[in-house]
């Protein structure tokens, strides 16, 4: 019998890590090895209840487990947040095209994340860290609304101490205890000391943040073909069939979810 493209495999919840009041990371153990490349997405289902697309936040080199960082934002994500260790989810995928790591070799990599948008970028960072000798440098700029909204609070400070890695976290609104930078992530993108025309910039966050970061990146001389944007669309099937995630002549689920700005620049209203 031919493989049924809609059939999920079982993935058991092994651990639930609270990140913020609205964000949790779920450590899943799929019933069989599960491979993905960084930037690709999966469909997670609560059996018999609902299904939604997510991009794994874990290291793609690990095949036995995958981690997915989920913000409570709607019906399915709300229900996922109620799931417990030991519960079983459905897992389909991976789908789409991820980050083209080959193109990043020998270059300065600028990674700009906003809010829970750091999730797919964490997976990318793990991939970059594992072959850091291949890249000139990795610069991370991460913005969250408040210090409480920062994800991966424990890992973040360590990343910045790695060789060739420069990380900076900023918050839109500080707090009395916050000693870091305050300001939108767009304010920490100048004077990076990089060779802009060859920089590979990767952006993931809410659409409004991506819109202004993209403008800023173009402004500092980064080329449209070197800006990689993660497009959040309503992907239902993940297979290029259901029609929900069309972006111009592309489907986010097949041709994306990672697009270069060069691919998107002539399409109207991409940030809506």
Partner 1 sequence: METYFLNNEDIPKFYGAITEVYDLYVPVKIESSVAPACQSSFRLPTADYLLKNYALLDKKENAVFNDYRCVEPTRVFFTYFKEEVCSYFTDKAAQEQVDGRPKAICGVKNCDIFALRIQDYVFLNAGEEDPLYARRRQNTLVISGDCPSFKETCFCQAFDIPAYPAQGFDLNLSPLTHGYLLDVDSDKGRAIVKSLKDKLSPATFGQLSGRSAKRESVRMRLDEHLIQHKIPKKEALQDIVLSGYASPVWQEQMRTCVECGGCVFMCDTCHCFLLSEEHENGLNKKMRTWDGCLFKDFTRVAGGANPLKMRYMRLRNRYLKKFDFFISNLGFQACCGCGRCIEVCPGKIDIRYILRRLYEEKYLPAH
Q: Which residues bind partner 1 (CB under 8 A)?
A: 1-2, 4-8, 10, 45-52, 73-77, 88, 90, 207, 232-234, 236-237, 239-246, 248-249, 268-269, 272
Q: Nearest distance from residue 272's CB to partner 1, in Å?
A: 4
Bond preceding residue 94 cis, omega within 30 of 0: yes
Alpha-carbon Rg for the chain in angstroms: 18
Closest CB to partner 1 among 11 and 111? 11
All residues at 6 or more sequence positions from 75 whose CB lies less than 8 Å from its CB, including other chains = 50
Q: Nearest distance from residue 208's CB to partner 1, in Å?
A: 10
Closest to 66 measured CA to CA, from 96, 98, 32, 113: 32
Closest CB to partner 1 among 226 and 230? 230
Q: How far is CA 271 from CA 98, 116, 122, 184, in A?
A: 20, 17, 23, 18
How far apart CA 21 and CA 122 sit, in angstroms, is 19
Q: Nearest distance from residue 221's CB to partner 1, in Å?
A: 29
Q: Nearest distance from residue 45's CB to partner 1, in Å?
A: 6
Q: Nearest distance from residue 238's CB to partner 1, in Å?
A: 9
Residue pair 201/216 in contact (Cβ under 8 Å)? The answer is no
Closest CB to partner 1 among 174 and 207? 207
Residue pair 164/138 in contact (Cβ under 8 Å)? The answer is yes
Q: Nearest distance from residue 234's CB to partner 1, in Å?
A: 5
Closest CB to partner 1 among 78 and 106? 78
Q: If you ran DSSP here, which 8-state letter would residue 257 be given?
A: B
- The torsion defined by the Cα of 28, 70, 25 and 43, in degrees rounded to 10, comes to 10
Closest CB to partner 1 among 45 and 166? 45
Closest CB to partner 1 among 52 and 121? 52
Describe the strand order of the beta sheet including 258-260 as a list of residue ranges.
181-182, 165-171, 137-144, 108-114, 200-204, 227-230, 258-260
């Amino acid at each position: 019998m031919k493989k049924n493209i809609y059939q999920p495999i079982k993935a058991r919840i092994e651990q639930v890590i609270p990140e913020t009041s609205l964000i949790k990371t779920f450590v899943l153990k799929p019933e069989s090895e599960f491979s993905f490349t960084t930037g690709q997405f999966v469909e997670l289902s609560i059996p018999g209840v609902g299904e939604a697309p997510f991009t794994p936040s874990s290291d793609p080199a690990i095949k036995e487990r995958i981690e997915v960082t989920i913000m409570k934002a709607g019906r399915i994500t709300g229900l996922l947040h109620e799931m417990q260790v030991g519960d079983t989810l459905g897992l389909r995928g991976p789908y789409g095209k991820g980050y083209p790591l080959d193109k990043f070799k020998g270059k300065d990599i600028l990674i700009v994340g906003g809010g829970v948008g750091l999730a797919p970028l964490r997976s990318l960072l793990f991939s970059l860290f594992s072959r850091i000798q291949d890249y000139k440098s990795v610069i991370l700029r991460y913005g969250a609304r408040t210090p409480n909204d920062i994800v991966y609070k424990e890992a973040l400070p360590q990343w910045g101490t790695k060789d060739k890695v420069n990380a900076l976290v900023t918050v839109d609104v500080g707090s009395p205890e916050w000693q870091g930078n305050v300001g939108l992530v767009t304010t920490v993108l100048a004077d990076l000391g990089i060779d802009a025309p060859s920089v590979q910039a990767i952006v993931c966050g809410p659409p409004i943040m991506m819109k202004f970061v993209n403008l800023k990146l173009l402004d500092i001389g980064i080329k449209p073909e070197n800006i990689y944007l993660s497009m959040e669309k309503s992907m239902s099937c993940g297979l290029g069939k259901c029609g929900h995630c069309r972006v111009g002549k592309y489907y986010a689920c097949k041709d994306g979810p990672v697009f270069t700005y060069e691919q998107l620049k002539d399409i109207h209203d991409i940030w809506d």
